[in-house]
Homo-oligomer: A and B are copies of this chain.
Amino acid sequence: MSDVTGRKRGRPPRTESADTRDRILAAAREEFSERGYEKTSVRGIAKAAGVDSALVHHYFGTKEQVFEAAVEIAAAPALNAPDLVADGPLDGVGERLTRYIFGVWENPATRMPLLAIVRSAVTNETAAAVFRRLVAAQLLRRIAAHLDTPDAELRAELAAAQLVGTAMLRYVIKVEPLASADVEQIITRVAPVVQGHLSGP
């Protein structure tokens, strides 16, 4: 109707709102991953994204909904994981699972939402629920289904404990020399432990 100046159809009125939403999401991911849920403020996210705080609410609603949108990306790779690691010969599942987990942590793009979840899950129930849905319900239960011992789920959780604990000390608390160690050296030591939990005596 209006705008007959010859510009392309459907072009935004004036400013670039094209990727504003994505900029907010990226800023939220960084803030939540660095500070955790409680310490992160909507205003801080807005400032990091270069917009007004009201705009954050306009796009996502409450702070909790911002958090959910920011860590949603972490669900995608985690949901694909079980098939990749659980299927295949049982005696290689330790290495496959360990290699997959550290692959996700070492990738900066996927590490941030994981950091956000871990930093937040210890004090925020929403984040804890995401953690349980991601780790326990999806990953562990399907791995446990491949074992035929009565305490299969406990075994899977103790294997996860080794992986989660290593990630905590390496990526969150940054304890040396673990934080700076070569990831292949870590995998070499951790994979047999995971394998032992799952298929050992």
Contacts and interface: CB of A to CB of B under 8 A. Distances in A.
Interface of A: 35-36, 38-39, 118-119, 121-123, 128, 131-132, 135-136, 151, 153-155, 157-158, 160-166, 168-169, 172-173, 175-178, 181, 185-186, 189-190, 192-193, 196-197
A169 B161 contact: yes
Contact of A178 (B122, B157, B181): B157
Given A36-B38, A163-B165, 8 more contacts: A122-B122, A132-B175, A151-B185, A154-B178, A158-B162, A160-B169, A164-B168, A189-B197
> Copies per complex?
2
A164 B169 contact: yes
A155 B189 contact: yes
Contacts of A168: 122, 161, 164-165, 168
A162 B39 CA distance: 28
Given A163-B165, A193-B197, A121 B177 contact: no
Given A154-B185, A161-B168, A163-B165, A136 B175 contact: yes
Specify which of A151, A163, A173 lies most central, judged by the most chain B CB atoms within 10 Å of its CB. A173
A158 B190 contact: yes
A75 B143 CA distance: 38
Contacts of A119: 122-123
Nearest to A131: B173
A144 to B, nearest CB: 10
